[in-house]
């Protein structure tokens, strides 16, 4: 009887170990995939995403507006 109880307890413990190992492996696989994707984006410095290109265009537009605002009232602003 005692041997059966010990065998059952050992089976539960082994189940928990296997479940924990599977969980840890899945977590680590996800982290590796995430880091690989980030690394892939970082290794292509010449390629800009659409979002980055839009941000650059908006910054350039803001710079133009600020420069036009700084001109004195009597000077030509390039408008006809």
Alpha-carbon span 80 to 76, nearest angstrom: 9
Q: Quick one: CA torsion of 15, 20, 25, 31, rounded to 10 degrees?
A: 160
Per-residue pLDDT reduced to its tens digit, 25-67: 999 999 999 888 876 665 566 777 888 889 999 999 999 999 9
Q: What is the pLDDT of residue 10?
A: 76
Q: Provide the residue ranges of all domains of the chain, joining segments of one domain with +.
A: 1-43
Q: Is 78 left (phi over 0), alpha (psi -120 to 50) or beta?
A: left
In the numeric block, which tokens belong to residue 31? 């982290």
Average pLDDT over residues 10-21: 86
């Amino acid at each position: 009887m005692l041997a059966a109880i010990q065998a059952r307890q050992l089976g539960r413990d082994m189940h928990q170990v296997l479940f924990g190992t599977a969980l840890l492996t899945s977590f680590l696989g996800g982290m590796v995939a995430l880091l690989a994707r980030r690394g892939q984006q970082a290794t292509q410095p010449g390629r800009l995403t659409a979002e980055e290109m839009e941000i650059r265009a908006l910054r350039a537009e803001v710079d133009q507006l600020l420069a036009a605002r700084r001109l004195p009232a009597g000077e030509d602003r390039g408008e006809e």
